[in-house]
Structure 1
Amino acid sequence: MSIHEKASPLSLVGEPVAPAPEKLERPRYAVYEHPRTIEGKTYKAGTWYHGLKQSGPEEKAIPVDHWICTPLTVEAETVNSEDGTIGRLLSFSHRGRRIEWVMPMEALAGKGDEVMKVLLGRGLVIEHHQRRQIVPYLASHQSPNLVIATTTKPGWHESGAFVLPSRVIGGDNVRFQDSGKAANIFTCKGSINGWQTEIATRCLGNPVLILSVCCALAGPLLAKVGVNGGGVHLVGDSSSGKSLAQLLAASVWGNPGNFAASWDVSKGGVEIEAASRNDTVLILDEIKRADPKRVQEMAYAIANGTGKGTMTREREGRAKLTWRVLALSSGERSLSDHAAIGGSNAHAGAELRMVDVNAGNRTHRAFDEVHGMTGQEFHRTLNDAVAQNYGHVGPAFVESLIKQPEDLHSAFRHERQAFGTESSQAGRVADRFAIMALAGELAIRRKLINWPEGTATKACRLLFNEWLSTMGDGNAEDRQILRGIANFIDLHGDSRFSELRHSGTTTVHNRAGYYEVECGARLYLFNNPGLAEAAIGFNLKRIVRALQGADALAKVDIEAGQKRSNKSYVMPGGGKSRFYVIDPVKLDHEGAGQ
């Protein structure tokens, strides 16, 4: 039986009965989609209980008929793809609209109040005095022949369909399963034509806005191409327009006011938000709301796509939350600057997983082109537009990927060529910008966005090159080490170092080393503890490797034909000590102070 066909009346044990029986068998439950006349009595449409009532042992049983609710049909058995639990696909109508809900069988345990709450909340009309019949009716229903899969996570399902809470794209034998209490963030309003005219057209000439839309569209491509998650972080002063860029991205999938999430949650909260937007986009507002001590850890979690493991009361491991998503974050400070507020040192890996994009120092702050308006007028016009047209482009893009398949791996390799890098770390960031560019170009070619071809690639490449010119194409950990040493010298150059020749006349507390002057410039002689403190979080071997790569070690010793990374000095008071001799100019040359 198709899930769209209405179920025949069911006996108490669940066996189908003839649609118009000669005699009404009792006891049993029956569902009538339309008024039915049986044995001369007319029953209105609904779910009925036909029973027998006996007032005493010697009394003859008399028939009783109770109308329970409007027609409530058990369409199929469901099997959850994540944990294998069994449920039922229920359907009914409310104001002419067909409503579906996947009910887990475990919800029937006890009095089944949660089942009643969900059904009432979704519009099922129930006879109050007969409400306790709902659970026996559902529990007595034999397993339907039709079995479909369910998932608690939006996005691509193993069946090849793309599942959203309110619809399934590309398949009919899978459904989204939730508790019935969660808000549906994948809503729509207006039309795709309205979105194209009022929003997409005004993105032209604005790389930040174009990147934001492409970021929202790239989510469904991550699994198809094999690119890891991560994000971009729009950095700019307050009221620069970066929040508007996020609203535009959110409008691709739903109501911007509801679809956007917040940094103001725990790490577990971020995991839930990411999983609930799997294969789409995670919008995170002002980073200043985030806990500075946890923000880098949260960035890692978003990119890695796996939640923290937990245990049941039986000490069994629960299934971890998983997701694939690109995040679009914003803030007045970069991720590393915000982490520094909490006393945390910048992690190069976190900076690579949430890369900074300039959204504050452009021609009109976050905008490059305001299409003949003032910046304030442009902002207000777009802000009004996203409130009227949203939720159409993302699902339409997925539908086009299913109906018009192409070799996405080949398309990505071709797009990636526009984002040239040398190091593997910068290459991972280039992958992210390239997948966003590909998403935009695919949407253009499929007539979902009214931009000229090449628009998405040009904007994403521009912003990637801006990031590359700031961060460099080298190793991120090397940059972090060099920047840390340069900052240490700037902070403590005269308080924790003294000139080697006059060290006997100078008292230095908590000494990090000495300096010597050659050709009018200082060279800093770091002792082991001082160098480890300057690049905290890295061992000496790793620090030395970064200094060698930058050619920042000005003097070394050669012993037995081999170079040593430090140099031996005769101390003015007698004896010898070894120091790492660092040229600070080479640190600045590598962008350490940026």
Structure 2
Amino acid sequence: MASPENNVINLRPEAPMVEPERPCWAVYEHWVCNEKGRKLRPGVYWHSFKRAAAEQDDTEGDTGDRPITDEWIASPVTVIARTTNSDDGSEGRLLRLVTESGIKEWIIAMEVFGGSGEDARRALFGMGVIIALKKRGTFMEYLLDQRPAEMFATTSRPGWHESGAFVLPGRTIGSDKVRYQASNKAQVLFSRRGELAQWQTEVAAKCTGNPVLTLAIGCSLAGPLLSLVGVLGGGVHLVGDSSSGKSLAQLIGSSVWGDPGVFAASWDMTKGGLEIEASSRNDTILPLDEIKRADPKRVQEMAYSLANGQGKGTMTREREGRAKLSWRLLTLSSGERSLSEHAAISGNPAHAGAELRMVDVNAGTRTHRAFDELHGLEGADFHRQLTVAVSAHHGHLGPAFVEKLLENDDRPGLLEDFAGIRASFTEDNAQAGRVADRFAVIALAGEMAIAYGLLPWEPGSALTDCRLLYGEWLSRVGSGNAEDRQILAGILDFIDRHGSSRFSDVDDTTPDTKVFNRAGYWELVGNNRLYLFNKPALIEAAHGYGLTRIIKALESASVLARRDHERKTKNYRLPGGGQARLYVIDPDVMEREGGGV
């Protein structure tokens, strides 16, 4: 039989006792007892007094004191800090939520207190917070009454923050005073699953010997480096037939930061939607699958926008300017057609600038289509194993890379390393130099991850792969100015399409009445046919360029075969009488100069 002393001990409440200075708010994350010994479950409380003795609860007992009341408002929600958004200066409150599924953080914008707060309460319910239905207004009063001394910075954009921290949803690397502030229904892009070590063994190790796959990982890791080494955004476009392995490369690149099935995006969206997707992945990577889904009329404009990192300004109904979305990242695109080929479907010629901002990479005619090394597996098995692996293990490498980057904190050394790698990429003009910058920063990211012990690759292998792919691109496009090549290609294409229908022999004594919408004439010199363009046709052939720019390209390629003294043209007598000054073009020279690329 238990002793009286033991009985006394057992009757004592297990919950600690609290003595709030009534009236006041209080938050308890565990069971407590009030001054009267009454147990209070976890939650937000309003501790006060009853208005009249007649309303006294019999369970309180009549001690002669003023009757007390403890109103349960909600499950535990603590206002732990004031917040200021670095993007627009708006304020909020950082909340700590204790729910059945665990402890969470959420930032509530102060502007919600200007209305009913219904949307904010709905979001809290969605995260597991319980609010007494008859105390919804009281709950908002509680939040508004809190005056925490702590001040945090917030941002609605992932990536580098002005404080020097790297912000991700649910995690900030390099600071405990900065938080990511998401909208209520934002998709969770940056998630983690499995283990980094397993990803290294099952994914990264099998990427060795496969330049397209190592490029995908390098693209993902290069995002945080772009602003640090002064390289502009842009992208690479994996070109290959359907089911060649392009999508696997994008899944692997996506797995650096999150769940590949969620993190990867598609070209099938509006330009405004693309801007939102890019901003939500700032300082990381934007994978875009299947360029054939993009609007051919807008695809080049979208490529420019992605590289330039600036969205289009819009206005509210009150005619106030909304803040433009901005970002800096690399895009990992894919498709069966190149960007220029897809744009041509709409009848628009490809702009050299757009092609340079989304550089084509061969991912279809390598040793095993997109792959060079299958590590002893069949192609289908190789693809399947990596697909399963990135689904089970993802979201670790990117944050781990940033952690190492901040630990070292050597900006001068980083710039020196980039300069050393960049020097190994040769170029003969500023345009190729911009592409070389992109491949160099991708190579730098890969080599840094190897040095950090994050990638199980041989030192120098990431650089070798990037130089190989850059060299393949350079050999395809040739040397010289990209706009020059595009102008020459346009004129050659014009000759191929209209050489027999809009041109006729200039030495024919009788005019050719079958030629409509004449573009000029042709002249036979030995076995070589020269094409004599009139001015409107030359501008039509090099669509999108002015006459001065066209002549500059023709002179640079030395394809103006005949001219009068200092003029760019030669005067000809025309069949049927009259004369005209025409631009004399040798298509054979143009072919040799790269116009046929």
Q: Which TM-score applies when normalising by structure 2?
A: 0.93
Contact 1:24/1:39, CA 8 A, preserved across alignment: no
* Equivalent of residue 42 in structure 2, options 35, 42, 45: 45
The answer to whether structure 1 residue 98 and structure 2 residue 121 are counterparts is: no
Amino acid at match of 1:578: R
CA contact (8 A) 1:252 1:390 kept: yes
1:572 aligned partner: 575
Match of 2:204 in 1: 200
Give, in angstroms, the shift of residue 24 of structure 1.
Answer: 4.1
Q: Distance in 2 between matches of 1:41 and 1:159?
A: 48
Distance 1:175 1:572 in 2: 78
Residue 510 of structure 2 is aligned to residue 510 of structure 1: no
Q: Does 1:167 align with 2:179?
A: no
Query: Are the structure 2 counterparts of residues 417 and 574 from structure 1 closer, same or farther at C-alpha, using a change threshold of 3 Å?
Result: same
Question: Partners in 1 of 2:574 and 2:316 — Cα distance?
Answer: 63
Aligned equivalent of 1:414, options 404, 411, 420: 420
* Paired AA for residue 487 in structure 2: I
Assess, with a 3 A threshold, how the Cα gap between structure 1 residues 55 and 290 changes in structure 2: closer, same or farther: farther
1:375 Cα shift? 1.1
Does the 8 A contact of 1:232 with 1:327 survive in 2? yes
Q: Which residue of structure 2 lines up, in the alignment, with residue 589 of structure 1?
A: 592
Are 1:108 and 1:115, in contact at CA under 8 Å, matched by a contact in 2?
no
Aligned-partner Cα distance in 1 for 2:43–2:327: 41
Q: Where do 5+ consecutive residues of structure 2 fail to align? A: 1-15, 57-65
Give the paired residue count: 569
1:227 matched to 2:235? The reply is no
**1:183 Cα deviation from its structure 2 partner:** 1.4
- Choose from 324, 332, 339 the match for 1:328: 332
**Aligned-pair CA distance for 1:141:** 1.7
Partner of 2:6: none
Q: Is 1:117 matched with 2:122?
A: yes
Shift of 1:421: 0.3
1:36 pairs with 27, 32, 39, which one?
32
For residues 564 and 201 of structure 1, the distance between their equivalents in structure 2, rounded to whole angstroms, comes to 62
Name the CA shift for 1:358/1:39 in 2 (closer, same or farther; >3 Å): same
Q: Contact conserved, 1:160 with 1:170, CA < 8 A, in 2?
A: yes
* Equivalent residue in structure 2 for 1:69, among 71, 74, 88: 74
- Alpha-carbon distance change, 67 to 59 in structure 1, aligned in 2, over 3 angstroms: closer
- Report if aligned partners of 2:535, 2:582 keep a CA contact under 8 Å in 1: yes
**Whole-angstrom distance in 1 between the partners of 2:162 and 2:450:** 28
Q: How far did residue 62 of structure 1 move?
A: 5.6
Match of 1:16 in 2: none
CA distance in 2 between counterparts of 1:160 and 1:195 reads 28
Which of residues 58, 62, 87 in structure 2 aligns to 1:82? 87
Structure 1 unaligned segments of length 5 or more: list them: 1-18
Spell out the pairing of 1:337-376 with structure 2 (5 A cutoff). 337-376=341-380
- Native 8 Å contact 1:79 1:85 kept in 2: yes
Offset at residue 126 of structure 1 (A): 3.0
How far residue 503 of structure 1 moved from its aligned partner, in angstroms, is 5.8
In structure 2, give the amino acid aligned to 1:375: G
The alpha carbon displacement at 1:585 in A equals 1.0
For 2:301, the equivalent position in structure 1 comes to 297
Out of 517, 526, 530, the position equivalent to 1:519 is: 526
Which of 466, 485, 493 in structure 1 is aligned with 2:499?
493
Structure 1 residue 465: deviation in Å?
0.7
After TM superposition, the score normalised by the length of structure 1 is 0.93
Per-residue deviation, residues 477-509 of structure 1 (Å, max 9, x unmatched)? 111100000000011111110011116242210
1:349-408 residue CA offsets vs partner (Å, 9 max, x unmatched): 100000100000111110111111111111111111111111000000000000122321
Residues 80-120 of structure 1 show CA distances to partners (whole Å, capped at 9, x for unaligned) of 00110010000022346320011101112222111111111
Aligned pairs (5 A) from 1:130-169: 130-142=135-147, 144-169=148-173
> Does the 8 Å CA contact 2:97/2:106 hold for their aligned counterparts?
no
Letter in 2 for 1:91: R
Alignment of 1:173-322 (within 5 A): 173-322=177-326
- Give per-residue Cα distances to partners, 1:227-254, cap 9 Å, x unaligned: 0000000000000000101000000000
Q: Deviations over 1:434-470 (max 9, x none)?
A: 0000000000010000000111111111111111111
Letter paired with 1:69: A
CA-to-aligned-CA distance 1:137-185 (integer Å, 9 cap, x gap):
111223x211111000000000010000010001111100012211111
After superposition, the C-alpha distances for 1:524-543 in whole angstroms (9 at most, x for unaligned) are 00000110110011111100
**Distance apart, 1:207 and its partner CA:** 0.7
Q: Is the 8 A contact 2:75 2:99 kept in 1?
A: no
Task: Using the TM superposition, name which of 480-489 and 58-67 deviates more.
Answer: 58-67
**Shift in alpha-carbon separation, 1:495–1:22, aligned structure 2, 3 A:** closer
1:406-446 residue CA offsets vs partner (Å, 9 max, x unmatched):
32111110010111101000100000000000000000010
Verify: 1:457 aligned to 2:463, yes or no.
Answer: yes
Q: Give the match for residue 400 of structure 1.
A: 404
Distance 1:66 1:205, change over 3 A: same
Q: Which amino acid aligns with 1:48?
A: Y
1:530 is matched with which residue?
A: 537
Q: Name the CA distance, whole Å, in 2 between partners of 1:21 and 1:390.
A: 46
Letter in 1 for 2:203: I
Q: Is contact 2:76–2:99 with CA below 8 Å preserved after alignment?
A: no
The SS at the match of 2:404 is helix
Q: Decide whether the 8 Å contact of 1:499 with 1:515 is kept in 2.
A: yes
Contact 2:233 2:307 in 1 (8 A): yes
Quick one: distance in 2 between partners of 1:250 and 1:293?
A: 28
* CA displacement, residues 189-245 of structure 1 (integer Å, 9 cap, x when unaligned): 111111110011111111111111101110000011110000000000000000101
Amino acid at match of 1:46: G
Aligned-residue identity in percent: 57
RMSD: 1.8
2-structure distance, mates of 1:258, 1:90: 27
Displacement of 1:337 in angstroms is: 0.7
The 1:79–1:23 alpha-carbon spacing in structure 2 relative to 1, beyond 3 Å, is closer
**Secondary structure at 1:568's aligned position in 2?**
strand
Give the counterpart letter for 2:526 in structure 1.
Answer: C
Taking a change above 3 Å as real, the CA distance of residues 453 and 203 of structure 1, as seen in their structure-2 partners, is same
Work out whether residues 511 and 575 of structure 2, in 8 Å CA contact, stay in contact via their aligned partners in 1: no
CA, structure 1 residues 531+259, in 2 after alignment: closer, same or farther (shift >3 Å)?
A: same
Match of 1:543? 550
**Alignment match of 1:383 (pick from 380, 383, 387):** 387
CA distance in 1, matches of 2:519, 2:101: 78
Matched residue of 2:289: which SS? strand
Equivalent position amino acid for 2:531 in 1: Y
Is the 8 Å Cα contact of residues 223 and 329 (structure 2) preserved in structure 1?
Answer: yes
